[in-house]
Amino acid sequence: MEPLQVIREEFTDDIISVVEFRGQVSITIRRDHVLDMSRFLHDEPGLYFNYLLDLCGVDYLGKRKPRFEVVYHLYSLKYRHMIRLKAQVPEDDCTIQSVTPVWVGADWHEREAFDMYGIAFKGHPDLRRILMPEDWEGHPLRKDYPVKGPEKEWSGFIDVLDRSKRFREFEWHE
C-alpha cells in the first residue's frame, strides 16, 4: 500500500509490526513519537489523513506485556484510504502524548480512554472523567474490573437511598 511505504520510510524505528487483515492495515508503534507521527500523517501531501475516525483503548491483561494499547483510526477524505495505528502503553508508566493539537475531536475520545482505562494523556487541555461520575474509583473497562460492578456501593447512590428513606414514613392526618 502506498501510504504504508511512506510511513515505513519516515518512522522506521517506531514501527513494531504491520498486519493486514480483511483489507485493513494495522501498524503497531511505540508511543514515544505519537504526536510527531500524527502531524506528519495529517500534513504530508499524498497522505492527508485529515479525519480522526476513532480513538480508543484496549486492555491486553495477561496476553501481552505492554498491557494497554491506544488505537487510532485515521481516514483521508481526499484519497479515501484508512489506516489503523496502535500505540503500546505499559501499565507502570500509563501515559502517552495527546493528539489534540492535530485533531481537536480527539478531546472527548481521550477523556473516555482515561475514564475507562486510566491512560493519562499528556498535554490534554482538560483531562477528567466523562462517562462515570467524577468521584468514581477504578477504571471500568479494564479486564480485572468485575462486570457486576464494585462490591462497595458508590457514595452517590447511598446518598440517594438515604434521602428517599425520609419519604417512606408517612403519617395520616385526620
Partner 1 sequence: MEDTEGTFETKELTISMGPQHPATHGVLRLVLDLDGESVVKCTPYVGYLHRGVEKLGENRTYLAALPLTDRLDYISSMNNNVGYVNAVEKLFGIEAPERAKFIRTMVAEMGRISSHIIWLGTHVLDIGATTPFLYAFRERERILDLFEMVCGARLTVSYPRIGGVKNDISQEFLDELYDFVLDFPSKMDDYETLVTENRIWKERTVGIGVISAEEAINWGLTGGTLRGSGVNYDVRKYAPYDAYDKVEFDVPVGQKGDCYDRYVVRIGEMRQANRIIKQCIEKLPPGPVMADAPKYTLPPKEMILKDMEHLIHQFVLITKGPSVPEGEVYMGTEVPKGELGFYFVSDGTGKPYRMRVRAPSFVHASVLPRLCQGGLVADVIANIGTIDIVLGECDR
- Identity of the residue, 23 or 169, whose beta carbon is nearer to partner 1 in the bound complex: 23
**Smallest distance, Å, CB 49 to partner 1?**
11
- Identity of the residue, 6 or 25, whose beta carbon is nearer to partner 1 in the bound complex: 25
**CA nearest neighbour of 6 among 79, 55, 56:** 79
Which three cell numbers, joined as nine digits, stand for 106? 480527539
CB 96 within 8 A of CB 119: yes
**Smallest distance, Å, CB 172 to partner 1?**
31
User: Which single residue is written with the C-alpha cell 500509563?
Assistant: 94
User: Which single residue is written with the C-alpha cell 485493513?
Assistant: 24
**Smallest distance, Å, CB 116 to partner 1?**
8
Question: Could you tell me where the DSSP H helices lie in the chain?
Answer: 2-10, 34-43, 106-117, 155-165
Point out which residues bind partner 1 (CB under 8 A): 19, 21-22, 24, 26, 50-54, 56, 58-59, 63, 71, 73, 77, 80, 82, 84, 103-109, 112, 116, 129-133, 140-141, 145, 147
Alpha-carbon distance 8 to 157, whole Å? 51
Amino acid at 125: P
- Identity of the residue, 20 or 32, whose beta carbon is nearer to partner 1 in the bound complex: 20
- Identity of the residue, 11 or 136, whose beta carbon is nearer to partner 1 in the bound complex: 136
Question: Which H/E stretch holds residue 173?
Answer: none
**Smallest distance, Å, CB 107 to partner 1?**
6
